[in-house]
Amino acid sequence: MKHIWAPWRIEYIRQTKPQGCILCDKPKEKKDKTNGILFRGKYNYIMMNNYPYNPGHLMVVPYSHIDNLDKLDSKAKLEMFEIINRAVNALKTAMKPAGFNIGMNLGRVAGAGIDDHLHAHVVPRWSGDNNFMPIIADVRVIPQAVADTYQQLKECFK
């Protein structure tokens, strides 16, 4: 049996699960630091992923509650990709990754944790960031707290 110590998860486990869509609700709260929102565009925003694959894992999210690229209007699509580019440049400046994974999981079977609200993932990568832990222990080690990463990146979005 594998045991992983992750005391920060208890807050998530114990909290009352919100009704509605987190990707719609968080930007309406106007608590950007608390919610990990780094940047707001006209049609899309950038939000930290609270369950990252790597430090600096960002999501670019349209304000519109849609589940498919076909439903996103052309202005929002253009801005989404402009903001993805902005996120990549900010991550390059602040964290100096060697590469990136950028993509979308469209549908639950494709791996979407939130499948009814379209969003793109921007994941910085470094040589050696995938060590032996996922292979022998089926565990991914994230070496930086999300709040610390937020502080590191926030200056790049001013």
Task: Given CATH 3.40.50.11890, say whether it is the number of domain 21-157.
Answer: no
Provide, rounded to the nearest whole percent, the portion of the chain with pLDDT above 70: 79
pLDDT at 78 over 60: yes
pLDDT the model gives residue 74: 96
At 82, the pLDDT band (50, 70, 90 cuts) reads very high
pTM assigned to the model: 0.79
Catalytic site includes residue 3: no
- Bigger pLDDT: 9 vs 77: 77
pLDDT at 91 over 60: yes
Sign of the alpha-carbon dihedral angle for 5, 113, 19, 31: positive
pLDDT the model gives residue 99: 93
pLDDT at 92 over 60: yes
- As a whole number of angstroms, the distance between CA 119 and CA 87 comes to 14
Single out the catalytic residue among 65, 117, 119, 121. 119
- Bigger pLDDT: 136 vs 108: 108
Classify strands 120-125 and 37-40 as parallel, antiparallel or unpaired.
unpaired
**In the chain, what are the domain boundaries?**
21-157
pLDDT at 10 over 70: no
Asked if 134 and 140 touch (Cβ cutoff 8 Å), the reply is yes
At 137, the pLDDT band (50, 70, 90 cuts) reads very low
